[in-house]
Structure 1
Amino acid sequence: MKIGQADERGLLEGMVDIQRDEITGILEDVDEEEARLRLVPSLTTPLALVKHATFVEKVWFHARVAGVPRKEIGLPDTVEESFLLYPEDTVESVRAAHRAACERSREVAAGHELDEQFDWHGNRVSLRFVYVHMIQELARHAGHGDILVEQIRAARVG
């Protein structure tokens, strides 16, 4: 079924998956050195964006929806820490971790209804909210990645 003809759940899942693909695509045309280039003052690099997107998947689906404590998942305490890169972080390892996190997120979400409620800092939000939030979050970061990779490609020529 085409995404434009899907029911609400199919539409939400399809749109999240489109953005997940955009995130993994950030690393398609960069080498290890380029993936770590800091072109802005923050820790935002192509590799760090994909690593952060993995963190976001785990926070929202693995911890919040599945109810697994953050410490059990190995999540850092702060958002900023999710952008930190270590020597063992490679283009392939970060992409593989992101794909695995997305697959687990799909499995978790499949066991819940759109109207089911989850805690979010003392408030209740639905799985529908989680999907919409993820579409927004991933689209924003995919755009950041597009700009960074465009700058990297331009530097190759110049």
Structure 2
Amino acid sequence: MASHLTAAERAQLDRFLDDGRLEVVKTLAGLSEEQARRRLVPSLTTPLGLVKHLTFVERIWFQVVLLGRTRAELGLPEEVDPTFVPDPGDTVASVIADYEQVCTESRLIAADFDLDHEAVHRRFGTLNLRWIYLHLLREINRHAGHADILREQLLASDGEPVETP
């Protein structure tokens, strides 16, 4: 049995978060700029927009909630919907780079706190880092699933082979 299967709770949570983060990035692999921005559903959801949104999510939970920085200080919107909309200058490469950078920052921030560390969220109130990890696992993996389905639809509609990244 591999050691990560019996590792301590924190190591397992970190591993699962990183696995989910990687899956999100992989959904953009091989997509053209147009495909990554194409909307297939009535909502603002696109593959590129999902990664953009998850970049926002990482900043909220680690920089705002854990470090106490403000949305204004970080240039983050107050509403969630705009976080799904790529800027005109965004590219697949730039959105991935931003996401990977913020994930690195999140890892470094989280490393300074134990899982029982309490923080205050403006809507949920007091919660601990363990809850943040579990919430992020749920959110990242839900959106990875959305992105994977959109990827399949995009490739199939463009007559390209549908392969799992």
Q: CA deviation at 1:81?
A: 1.0
- 3-state SS of 1:157 partner: coil
Secondary structure (helix, strand or coil) at the match of 2:158 reads helix
Give the whole-Å Cα distance in 1 for the aligned partners of 2:88 and 2:71: 23
Query: Aligned to 1:88, what secondary structure does the other structure show?
Result: coil
Q: Which residue of 2 aligns with 1:102?
A: 103
Query: For 2:146 and 2:3, how far apart are their aligned partners in 1?
Result: 28
User: Aligned equivalents of 1:8 and 1:155: distance in 2?
Assistant: 42
Which is worse superposed, 68-77 or 93-102?
68-77
Partner of 2:59: 58
C-alpha distance 88-2 of structure 1, shift in aligned 2 (>3 A):
farther
* AA aligned opposite 2:153: Q
In 1, Cα distance between equivalents of 2:36 and 2:21: 18
Q: How high is the TM-score relative to the length of structure 1?
A: 0.96
Partner SS, residue 15 of structure 1: helix
* Aligned with 1:156 (options 145, 158, 161): 158
- Residue 84 of structure 1 deviates from its aligned partner by 1.5
TM alignment of 1:76-155, pairs within 5 A? 76-120=77-121, 121=123, 123-155=125-157
Q: Distance in 1 between matches of 2:4 and 2:67?
A: 26
Partner residue, 2:73:
72
1:21 to 2:32 alignment: no
Separation in 2, partners of 1:26, 1:71: 30
Q: Indicate the percent of aligned positions where both proteins have the same amino acid.
A: 44
Unaligned runs of 5+ in 2: 161-165
The unaligned stretches of length 5 or more in structure 1 are none
Query: What RMSD over aligned residues (CA atoms) do the two structures have, in Å?
Result: 1.2
Residue type of the partner of 1:102?
A: C
Aligned counterparts of 1:71 and 1:100: Cα–Cα separation in 2: 20
> Taking structure 2 as the reference length, what is the TM-score of the superposition?
0.92
Residues 26 and 50, structure 1, Cα contact 8 Å, conserved in 2 = no
CA distance in 1, matches of 2:95, 2:36: 11
Separation (CA, whole Å) in 2 of partners of 1:2 and 1:106:
21
1:53 is displaced (CA, Å) by 0.5
Give me the whole-angstrom Cα distance separating, in 1, the residues matched to 2:99 and 2:137: 15
Q: Aligned partners of 1:154, 1:122: CA distance in 2, in Å?
A: 40
Q: For residues 22 and 124 of structure 2, what CA distance do their matches in structure 1 show? A: 31
How many positions carry a matched residue from both structures? 158
Tell me, yes or no, if the aligned pair for 1:49 and 1:145 is still in contact at 8 Å: yes
- CA shift for structure 1 position 4: 1.2
CA positional deviation for 1:122: 5.7
1:2 offset after TM fit, Å? 3.7
Deviation of the 1:156 alpha carbon: 2.0
The separation in 1 between residues aligned to 2:101 and 2:124, in whole angstroms, is 29
Point out 4+ residue stretches in structure 1 off by more than 2 angstroms: none
